Amino acid sequence: MADIAFLALTVITIGSAIAALEMRSLIYGSIALMGTLGGIAGFFLLLDAPFVALFQIAVYVGSIAVLILFTVMLVKRELIFKKIEDKRRKFAGIGLMLIVMVSLGAIFIDSGIKTITTDEPPVDFRDIGADFVIYYWPALILMGLILAGTVTGALVLARRVDVEDDQRTN
Partner 1 sequence: MSVIAPNFKLSGFIQSLLDNIFWILLLVVLVGVPAIFMILFVIPLPVIDGELLTPFLAFSALVNPTRLLPIIHAFLTTDIFRVMAFPGFGFAALLAASVIFVERKMMAKIQLRVGPFYCGKVEGILQLMGDGLKLISKEIIIPAKADKPIFWAAPVLFVATAAAFVALIPVAPGWVVADIDLGLLGVFAVIGFFPIITILSAWSANSKYPFIGGIRALFQMVSFEIPLILSLLGVVMLTGTLNLSEISASQSSFPWIIFLPIGAIVFFITMLAELERIPFDLPEAESEIVAGWLTELSGMMYGLVQLGSYLKLYAFAALFVVLFLGGWNGPMIVPAFPEQIITEGIEMGPIVLTIDGLGPLLHETITQEMLNGTLWFVLKTAGVIFFIILPRGVFPRVRVDLLLNLGWTKLIGLCFINIFIALGLLYAGVLGPGGLQ
Binding-site ranges for partner 1 (CB under 8 A): 27, 31, 34, 50-51, 54-55, 57-58, 61-63, 65-66, 69-70, 73, 125, 170
**Eight-class DSSP state of 25:** S
**Eight-class DSSP state of 114:** G
What are the phi and psi torsion angles at 85 (to 5°)? -95, 110
CB of 116 to partner 1, least distance (A): 25
Report how far residue 65's alpha carbon sits from residue 87's, in angstroms, rounded to the nearest whole number: 29
CB of 136 to partner 1, least distance (A): 20
Residue closer to partner 1 (CB basis): 73 or 141: 73
Residue closer to partner 1 (CB basis): 81 or 125: 125
SS3 letters across 81-132: CCCCCCHHHHHHHHHHHHHHHHHHHHHHHHCCHHHCCCCCCCCCHHHHHHHH
Residue closer to partner 1 (CB basis): 14 or 27: 27
CB of 141 to partner 1, least distance (A): 18
CB of 164 to partner 1, least distance (A): 14
